[in-house]
Structure formats: C-alpha cells, structure tokens
Chain A
Amino acid sequence: MEERKLHSVMAEFTDVNSLMAAAERVRDAGFRKWDCHTPFPVHGLDDAMGVKMTRLPWIVLAMGLTGCGLGLLLQWWTNAYDYPYIISGKPVWAIPANIPITFEVTVLFSAFTAFFAMWIMNDLPRWFSPLSRKKNFARATDDRFFVVIEAADPQFDGVRTAEFLNGLGAASVEEVEMPDEPTRLPARYRHLLFTLAMAMLVPLAMIYNAQHKTSTEPRVHLVKDMDKQARFRPQGETLAGLFADGRMSRPRIEGTVGRGMLREDEGLETGMEGGEYVTAVPSALQVDEDFVRRGQERFGIYCAPCHGFTGKGDGLVHQRALQLAAEGNAQWVQPTDLSSALVVDQADGRLYETIRMGRNTMPAYASAIPVEDRWAIVLYVRALQRAAAQ
C-alpha cells in the first residue's frame, strides 16, 4: 500500500490535568500549527496553549455602533424627513420615542455580528476534517481530550513528534492521514446550489420589472377585501321588484321639503328677486350695530384668511401663496380687493350670492355660513368699503 501523506499526529488524553500539562509542553517546544480538541472549553487551556485574545469583541463593538447609527437614521429619515407628519403631538423627530428601536437595532447588529463573525473566524462550517476519519476522535466530543500537531508545522517530524507526544502521558498516539479523495462539495451539489441561487434572483427581477413598467391591466388583487360589497349603488342595478320604478336612488317624497330648504323668502335666501339682485339687506333682518359687529366677527373667521382683515386681498393665504409662487410651486390670483370699484358697484344681493355660491376660485360658503350671517358679512364689507373711501 502506498504511503499516504500525513495530515497530523494525534494524541489522546484521559483527563484535563494531563491535557493541560501536555499542552504547556507542546507550547514551550515551539510548535505553532497545533490544537487541542475537548468536549467542553477547559479553563486555563488558552493560557496553556498560548492562545491570544480574539479581536471579536472589537468587531462586535464596531458593528454595534453602526447599528445604533442606522437605527437613529432610519427613524429620522422615514418619520422626520421623507414623509414627516405630526402624530399625537409629538415632534416629527422625537428622540425619546426613538430610543427603544435604536437600542434594539444596536443589539440586533451586535448579536448577529458576534454570531456570524465567530463562525467565520473559526473557519466554520467545514464539513470535513481528516481527524473525523479516526475512530478514537469521536470521543473528542464525549469524554476524551486530544492534542493534534499538524504536519504543516515547521517543527514537525513524523517519528520524533509522535515520540514526543507519547512522552507527555498520552493514552494513545496515532497518525492522521490526508484524505486522497476530494473534499470539495461534489459537482452536482454545487451546480444545484448555483441554480437555486440564480432562481432566487428571478422574483427580484420580476419585481424590478413591474416597478419600472406601466400597464393598462388592473392590479392583481388577491384579497378582494371590500371590493364587492353587499349593497346597492345609487345609479346601479336594482333588486328586481324592490321598487316599481327600478331606481335605487329614491326621489323626494311628495309634499316634503328638506330641512333648511323651505325657501319662502327668495330675496333673503338667494339675494335675488325676480331675476334681479336685491339692492339692500332684506327687511326681515334687524340691522343694528350688533348685527354689523356680528358681520365683523364672521368676516374675521371666514373671509379674512384670503381677503385680509381690511378686505384688501392680502390675507395669510395670499402671503403663503406668494411664497409658494416665488418658489415656483403655485399659480395664484390675488383675492379680490373688496374696496375696489368693481365690488363697490355691485349690488348687495350680488355680494350675498358670491358668499353663498362662490365665484371663480372662491368656494361656496353656503354650507359654512347660515343665511343671517351672510347678510351680516355683506354689511360689514360695505363698512370696510366706506372706511377705505375715507
């Protein structure tokens, strides 16, 4: 049988004391590529072997600090920068509220680093070791202790090293041969793993593709959620025979009037009578100082934001819009100056209609301002006009 190449020489010890003594001797003899194999970490063996403290803690510290920074950055960027919104009165960047997650991310990074770095630095996983071919070596994870000196060590000499180990009180000394069959993963497994890795890229590619294309097809909607609801839509089909006229939106019942819809006094309600704007506040209302003051108050609430407190059209909305327009973010037409000739010449009824129905870009305020208040505002506008004329 041809002589196989030696991997190492292995000595078996029965207890920790003889192991420790042997390890010290091996260390002192100047060997470098050697190791002990024990079923549990033996205290003091690191010193006996001359093993230096690992750098792992520093790597963990560095990654932990990274995690800390990333945790803070994540929370700041998402909640305070990219899409800031105020919730429950907290500032957009609420540091006390960010501490728990920052802490967790720090621990997460540190722990994962400790775990993975340790295996990597230990050169594991390694699914084959020549030592595992020796029957005795199985007891390294049970109740025996081994010293293994590798042939690659410069001081290694096949026969002398074995004798040396024997002299240290070993229960047995054996030679460990290098395997001659290949120890890499067989080709078919490697190809399989490669194929799997490529296959995992496919869904990612599909997602990328979908995100950068548009489509006229509706989205795939796996969970219908509330798409189909058990209800009837206003203009939609109706349950046969439910209503004689086949409509789901029902018309008003004969002889009824919606609340607030009984418009008996057309002039009061609409500001127009017989197609013409009324020219004075309807007599149904009592016009006195209180009424005008009410108008002032209501004007300050509803009108001043755009038209300004003086009615000149310089309210806060206008100021803000000017800012936005200066940034190029808005198109803006200044709210009408209520003291301008145009408005002064308009009839009271027309002013009323403007408030009620809106005009141009001004929205309708009918839903916000009740009828009397609208007339009070009209009167106040007249007061502003009179003041401006002086």
Chain B
Amino acid sequence: MSEPKIAADGVNFYYGTKRALHDIRVAIRPHVVTAFIGPSGCGKSTFLRTLNRMNDLIPDTRLEGSIKIDGQDIYAPSVDVVSLRRRVGMVFQKSNPFPKSIFENVAYGLRINRIANGRADLSHRVEESLKAAALWDEVKDRLHEPALSLSGGQQQRLCIARALAIKPDIVLMDEPASALDPIATQRIEELIYQLKDQYTIVIVTHNMQQAARVSDFTAFFWLGRLVEYNETRKIFTAPAEKLTEDYVTGRFG
C-alpha cells in the first residue's frame, strides 16, 4: 500500500492510571470507509478521538506511541491542534447543532477558520456543503430558521454539512446513526457511501450490519486491543481470529 492516510503505531492511551488502549497498530487508507467495531467499552471511540486529539479536552489523559497523518506525527509538540482539527473533522453520536440558524451552523467553521472571501463566497460554500450532505433541498427555503427545529436525522446531516464545509481530508464519525430511526439511518449510510470519493472516512459503529454495508475495511476492537483489521468482506466471511468470528456471528456482544 502506498503511504497510508493515518498510521498508528504502538498507541497506548491512559485515562489517569487506567489504560484504555493497548499497543494499537493500524494503517488506514485514503478514500475508503474504515469501520471500527467491537462491544461497548472496547476503546473504539477512545481511539477515534485520538485521531483528532479531542481527548486533549479531557483532563488527566495521556497517549504513548505515534499517530501519523500523511506521514506527520500529530502529537509532536510543534503541532497546532487547531489546524489539525480543521483537517480531521468529526461528527458526534448525538447530533449537536449549535443553537443558531441552519445557515450559521454551517457557516461557523468557515468563519472561525477565515475561509470564505466575502458574503457571496460564504453563501456559496454553505450551499455546497448542504448539498454534499444531501440536506439542501429540504432546507433551502428556511436557511435562517433555528437548526434545532429540524428533525433528528436532519440535524445529524446538518452536523455532517457543518463538518464538510471546512473541507477536511478525513471525517471521523462516532456512531453517527445510533440515535436515528431506520429511514434516517439509511440516508446517512447512503451519504457516507457518496462521500468516500472525496474524503477518508472512519466510522465507529456498534451495529455490525451497518459496518458490513457501509465500509471497505473493518477493525475489530476488544478490551482496548485491536484484534483484527482487514477488508470488510474478509472480516465478516472469513475472519482470521476466533474472537472476531465469535463477535461477528453474534456469539457475544
């Protein structure tokens, strides 16, 4: 494989003295969807959050090992965390639109990173992002209404539009559809499939069928360790590890 987009090596992560991740080693490819699966508490969300250093916000945490994006160690002291987060976007499990208008939600990332040149460019980019998130048609006539007036599924797509607006390289999604009904979930999954041409997507999910439907590669986590990482097809039909096989066939979890 040519240069991996994200390369983690020997990653150990601690909440205080408690070790949550043990020696994680994984290389994530560009322009594919990679799924992290595993039972609750296995560390998949924790590992996801190390990729954009969101764990920095939690006091008393520590990371050992290296995580490189495009060959550069993102935990090096000289790294500007704020620019890192511009390149690595995140969509959260429970949608968290800002208590502002739909337009302002998408525009926020553009404003704080000073991306747009003037009002017209800003509006254009907002429209582009809403279209990319398959939300434009539903909201184009009410851009200035409160974001909180949207349905759950629409709010999540808004959060995706918001993340896409600043044109990240990588989009991290932490169980993006777990709080949504099946129809909304399906729309999100279709969206993920469409987005992978332009972005590298890493998605955490506890729903194995979703991982099987949506992802190209899958990493199975168990008790803070990476048990197996391979093409999704192989993980679900011919896993190499017994633990993986037990999990994907539903023997536990």
The yes or no verdict on A and B being binding partners is no
Residues on B lying within 8 angstroms of A by beta carbon are: none
